[in-house]
Amino acid sequence: MASSDAAERWILGPDSPDSIDSVASGRIGPRAFHEKKARALPRQQLMLSLPNLDGSLSGGDPPRPAIVKQADREVEPIQQQAARLGNGKQQQERLQSVSSIPYDRTEFVAETLLPTKTGRYRLRGYRHSADGGRTYTEPTCIMTGSPEGLRAGEPPLTAVIQKFSGDMRHLNVAVRVHDACFTSEVLGSLKCDCAEQLQLAMDYIQASEPGIIIYLQQEGRGIGLANKIAAYSLQERGLDTVDANRALGLPDDCREYTSVRNILKDLGIRSIQLMTNNPRKISVLREMGVIVTDRIPCIVKAQQFSQGYLATKQERMMHELDGSYCFWNHDGEPTGPLMSIDSETIGPFSSMDAPVATDAASIIAEKIEQSSQDPS
Ligand SMILES: Nc1nc2c(ncn2[C@@H]2O[C@H](COP(=O)(O)OP(=O)(O)OP(=O)(O)O)[C@@H](O)[C@H]2O)c(=O)[nH]1
């Protein structure tokens, strides 16, 4: 069995002669690359190999149960089993080598340049496991500028040069930690502010580089897309975003941010200014050792369908929104340009938003009318 170091060489890529760069340069085909990589993986990581179209695993057969033979389900004789597993000392050593795999681990895969409608960004791909390698997610880093500081393995001289040349780009870097929201970012849902916050962060780091958006696959505050859809379904029946999660027996927020700490370390970033309205994010990151020197508010205006969600974030999840997301102020006056909502395009909504006025302007009109009729 190849060591996990060998696996790391394959995954880490750029420094290895047989890395993903070899695929790019044509020295090795993508298929061969994946097969070699899978063979280099320790046994428990084979489970991570993606199945091919024919159902086989690219890294060979899946690991078989240790004791019961697959073919005839015959129980393995005890002596044979002992010979295969080794003596107590050997087993202990094996266990130690398994437990020496760090519980959470984030590995850099590759970087590319990405032109977008908002401008050009550096895009860095990572693989992150929070359970010692059983499962993984793929955080990405969307970057402008070069905020990198001293990185692991670099000579300390780099730090000295940085210090004396006054290069402070790796300090107080503007960072947005953003969690996936398929519904708004891909489908254009108007029920939350996630897609607009992402756009705001992309604009911000484009306008004042360097900056980083760490995009994490933690849909629905970590409960996953299908559960989030179930939560939305309960919200149609009148529950808010917090109670809907609870009614499903799910936590309000189960996102984990060890990958953020690891990615910042990988980049040699010493301290950050976090673009967020959520105090939990700041405290969770600080607890794991990330130096957050400041907060950059990330408030976007609500519109008809997101007003309730934002109100709940402020009132029940302690987001520092300060009422400033409201698209009307407390006197019932519009406070900023409204997102144009065409009720013809959106079509009729069911019970979801009932009682619902046809557009934002008529909601405001209704509110103004109500307040003028209210004798108090
Ligand atoms: N469970 C659940 N998740 C939601 C809902 N609406 C949006 N999300 C998810 O919420 C996550 C974003 O979290 P938010 O609480 O909106 O904001 P935040 O990231 O904590 O705070 P900011 O940094 O200020 O944006 C994304 O993963 C979305 O998929 C909802 O109604 N229910």
Q: Three-state SS string across the chain, please?
A: CCCHHHHHHHHHCCCCCCCHHHHHCCCCCHHHHHHHHHHHCCHHHHHHCCECCCCCECCCCCCCCCCECCCCCCECCHHHHHHHHCCHHHHHHHHHHHHCCCCCEEEEEEEEEEEECCEEEEEEEEEEECCCCCCCECCEEEEECCCCCCCCCCCHHHHHHHHHCCCCCCCCEEEEEEECCHHHHCCCCCCCCHHHHHHHHHHHHHHCCCEEEEEECCHHHHCCHHHHHHHHHHHHCCCCHHHHHHHCCCCCCCCCCHHHHHHHHHHCCCCEEEECCCHHHHHHHHHCCCCEEEEECCCCCCCCCCHHHHHHHHHHCCCCCCCCCCCECCCCCECCCCCCCCHHHHCCCCHHHCCCCCCHHHHHHHHHHHHHHCCC
Domain end, chosen from 64, 80, 99, is at 99
Same domain (yes/no): 23, 139: no
20-24 contact pairs (CB < 8 A, 24+): 20/109, 20/110
Say if 81 falls within a structural domain.
Answer: yes
pLDDT for the residue 169: 72
Residue ranges of the chain whose pLDDT lies below 50 = 1-23, 30-31, 33-34, 38, 40-76, 78, 81, 85, 91-92, 95-96, 98-101, 332, 334, 336-365, 367-368
- Burial-class residue 276 by CB neighbours within 10 Å (0-12, 13-18, 19+): buried
With contact defined as beta carbons under 8 Å apart, do 234 and 255 qualify?
Answer: no
Question: 277 CB less than 6 Å from ligand 1?
Answer: yes
Same domain (yes/no): 145, 204: yes
**Nearest-CA residue for atom 1 of ligand 1:** 220
Q: Which atom of ligand 1 is nearest to the CA of 280?
A: 20
176 alpha carbon, distance to own chain's centre: 11
User: Does the annotation mark 253 as catalytic?
Assistant: yes
Instruction: Give the C-alpha separation, 43 to 65, whole Å.
Output: 12
Same domain (yes/no): 51, 127: no
Catalytic annotation, pick one of 253, 266, 270, 359:
253
With contact defined as beta carbons under 8 Å apart, do 121 and 142 qualify?
Answer: yes
Say if 278 falls within a structural domain.
Answer: yes
Same domain (yes/no): 195, 296: yes
Sequence-separated (6 or more) residues with CB below 8 Å from residue 235: 241, 244, 352
pLDDT for the residue 13: 37
Question: 314 CB less than 6 Å from ligand 1?
Answer: no
Instruction: Give the C-alpha separation, 83 to 79, whole Å.
Output: 6
Same domain (yes/no): 172, 50: no
Instruction: Give the C-alpha separation, 28 to 358, whole Å.
Output: 59
Say if 348 falls within a structural domain.
Answer: no
145 alpha carbon, distance to own chain's centre: 21
Single-letter code of the amino acid located at 299: I
Question: 253 CB less than 6 Å from ligand 1?
Answer: no
Ligand 1, residues 175, 179, 248: which to mutate, most atoms within 8 A of Cβ?
A: 179
Say if 60 falls within a structural domain.
Answer: yes
Say how many Å lie between the CA of residue 187 and the centre of ligand 1.
15
Same domain (yes/no): 53, 146: no
Single-letter code of the amino acid located at 85: L
Same domain (yes/no): 182, 271: yes
| Structural domain span for residue 94 | 4-99
pLDDT for the residue 282: 94
Say if 65 falls within a structural domain.
Answer: yes
With contact defined as beta carbons under 8 Å apart, do 140 and 112 qualify?
Answer: no
Strands 119-129 and 272-275: unpaired
Instruction: Give the C-alpha separation, 261 to 274, whole Å.
Output: 13
Question: 281 CB less than 6 Å from ligand 1?
Answer: yes
pLDDT for the residue 131: 83
Q: Which atom of ligand 1 is nearest to the CA of 319?
A: 24
53 alpha carbon, distance to own chain's centre: 27
CATH number at residue 192: 3.40.50.10990
Q: What is the pTM of this model?
A: 0.66
With contact defined as beta carbons under 8 Å apart, do 260 and 214 qualify?
Answer: yes
pLDDT for the residue 44: 35
Same domain (yes/no): 95, 137: no
Say if 263 falls within a structural domain.
Answer: yes
Domain end, chosen from 99, 121, 144, is at 99
Take residue 81 and report the two structure tokens written for it: 């089993």
Structurally, how many domains does the chain consist of? 2
Say how many Å lie between the CA of residue 328 and the centre of ligand 1.
22
Same domain (yes/no): 87, 129: no
Same domain (yes/no): 146, 214: yes
Same domain (yes/no): 208, 91: no
Say if 334 falls within a structural domain.
Answer: no
Strands 173-179 and 211-216: parallel
Domain end, chosen from 99, 114, 141, is at 99
**Of the candidates 82, 89, 37, 83, which has an alpha carbon nearest to the alpha carbon of residue 59?**
37
Say if 366 falls within a structural domain.
Answer: no
Question: 255 CB less than 6 Å from ligand 1?
Answer: no
Question: 184 CB less than 6 Å from ligand 1?
Answer: no
Same domain (yes/no): 114, 86: no
Sequence-separated (6 or more) residues with CB below 8 Å from residue 301: 325, 326, 327, 335, 336, 337, 338, 339
Say how many Å lie between the CA of residue 285 and the centre of ligand 1.
17
